[in-house]
Amino acid sequence: MELRIPTLEQLRTVYDRDLKEAFPSAELKPLRNMEEMWAADRYRPWCLFDGDDIVGEAFLWLGHPGWALLDYLCVSPARRNGGLGAAILEKLREAEADTVIFGESEIPCYAPDPAMAERRLGFYARSGARTAGYDTAMFGVPYRTLYWAVGDVDEAALMAEHRYVYESTFAPDKFSRYVRIPFDPDRGPGEKVEWQQ
């Protein structure tokens, strides 16, 4: 199996086949946003190929050089529970060896399915993720911040780069209304809205 960048047509196929099935609409970027960001060199859609078939995806939202947000990790429905998620993360870390990859995973106590959120955090930990010292809330959904890096990472720099990914994409009013980095539980997660609003 090989991790590589798909064609635009392949991206469209896996978006409809895999991502729409795996992620709630409130958490899924519109395909046109992904395409525009990819064209502007702000997005990198990695796909795991088994021969000619795409069996999973790991999409990176690019920040400053050396920093990227793991935007989506997905295994095709027919291939789940076979270790492909861990394989994708391992190959992604090899392909992006000079990049600090950070991500967000639902905080169990806020998740609609707390047990699933706990399992997801356990999967990421087994895949080498470290937990950052701050959480986030995006569009009303609270997340634990995770990251993969070779060596130590300054947490202040990590948070600044995390903020940069969103600040450089959203208008200031949208950022201030829907993005909370760090997330303060006393303030609550904010209004839950779909990503594209």
- Gyration radius of the chain's alpha carbons: 16
* Residue-level pLDDT at 115: 97
Question: Model-level pTM?
Answer: 0.93
Cα separation, 142 vs 139, in Å, equals 9
* Residue-level pLDDT at 172: 95
Query: pLDDT tens digits, residue range 140-163?
Result: 999 999 999 999 999 999 999 999
* Residue-level pLDDT at 33: 93
* Residue-level pLDDT at 125: 97
Low pLDDT (below 50) residues in the chain = none
Give the CB-side neighbour count of residue 11, counting CA atoms within 13 A: 22
Look up residue 15 and give its DSSP letter: I
Phi-psi region of 190 (alpha: psi -120 to 50; beta: other; left: phi over 0): left
Give the CA distances from residue 1 to residues 49, 63, 99, 145, in Å, rounded to whole numbers and listed in that order: 6, 28, 22, 29
Say if CB 55 and CB 18 are below 8 A apart.
no
3-state secondary structure of 54: strand
Mode of pairing for the β-strands spanning 67-75 and 100-106: parallel
Can you list the domains of the chain with their CATH numbers?
A: 2-180 (3.40.630.30)
